[in-house]
Amino acid sequence: MSNGSADMRSPDRLIALSDGIFAIAMTLLVLDVHVAAGLDADGFRRAVHDSLPHLGAYALSFTILAGFWRDQRQILQLARQVDGLTLRLALTGLGAIALTPFPTAMLSEYASRPLAVAVYAVTVVVIDLLQLALFLTIWRRPWMAHPVPDHVGRNILADLGTSILVFGASAPIAFASPTAALYTWLALVPVKIMLGRRQRAQAEDRTTG
C-alpha cells in the first residue's frame, strides 16, 4: 500500500502524462495544413498560397508548445513529490495545452480579426500563468522539491514573466491593430535569446568556479 501511495505522489506519472498530451496537441496542429487533391496547375498554386497562413500558425504554435513542454518538464522534475494542489495546477495547464489547436486554427483563418489574435494571446498567457503558479508552488515548498538555486528560480521566473508580459500586452493591442499585435510577439525572440545566454553563462561560471 505504501509503495502504491508513493507512486501516486511521484512526479514521474505526471511527467509521462504531460509528454503524451503535448505530443497529441502538437500533432493536431498540423491537421489544418493540407492541399486538396485533383487541382490543376493554377488551382494548385492558389491552394499552396492559401496554405501559407496555416503553415505560419502551425510553426508558431509548435514553437510555443515546444517551449511549454520544456518548461513543464523542468518544473516537474524539480519536485520530489506532488500533492493535490500541484496536480490540479498541472492538469489545468494541460487542459489549456490540449485546447491550443483551437485558437491556432482561428489565428490561421482570421489573423486580421482582433478577437482571433486576442484569444490566441490570452490562451498563451493563461498557460504561462498556470506554469508560473505550478513553479512557485513547488519552489516555495522545499519539503516537496529538490534544492533549487536562487539563480535557477529567477531564470525560470524571468522566462515565464517575459512571455506573460509580451502576450498580455498584445491582447489589447490586437483590438487597435491585429498586425501590430502579431509583430509584438517578435519582441520575445531577442529576449529569449538573451535569457538563454545568461543562463548558460551562469551555469559555466558555477562550473568553472
136-164 pLDDT, tens digit per residue, is 999 888 777 788 778 788 888 988 999 99
**C-alpha cell recorded at residue 195:** 535569457
Would you give the distance in Å from CA 205 to the centre of its chain?
A: 29
Torsion sign (Cα): 172, 174, 177, 183 = positive
How much is the pLDDT for 7?
56
> What's the pTM?
0.88
Q: Which domain holds residue 68?
A: 2-208
Q: Count up the domains in the chain and report the number.
A: 1
132 closest CA partner among 167, 171, 173: 167
Please check whether residue 11 is in contact with residue 77, taking contact to mean a CB–CB distance below 8 angstroms. Answer: yes
How much is the pLDDT for 9?
77
How much is the pLDDT for 201?
77
**C-alpha cell recorded at residue 2:** 505504501
Please name the residues in contact with 45: beta carbons below 8 A apart, sequence gap of 6 or more.
none
Cα separation, 189 vs 194, in Å, equals 9
Cα separation, 93 vs 99, in Å, equals 10
How much is the pLDDT for 207?
64
Q: How many CA atoms are closer than 13 Å to the CA of 109, on its beta-carbon side?
A: 8
**C-alpha cell recorded at residue 26:** 502538437
How much is the pLDDT for 28?
93
Cα separation, 89 vs 128, in Å, equals 12
Cα separation, 125 vs 162, in Å, equals 10
How much is the pLDDT for 205?
67
How much is the pLDDT for 6?
53
Give the chain's residues under pLDDT 50.
1-2
Residue 70 has a CB neighbour count (10 Å cut-off) of: 12
Cα separation, 182 vs 112, in Å, equals 10
How much is the pLDDT for 2?
47
Cα separation, 74 vs 53, in Å, equals 32
Cα separation, 156 vs 136, in Å, equals 10
Instruction: Using DSSP, state whether 61 is helix, strand or coil.
Output: helix
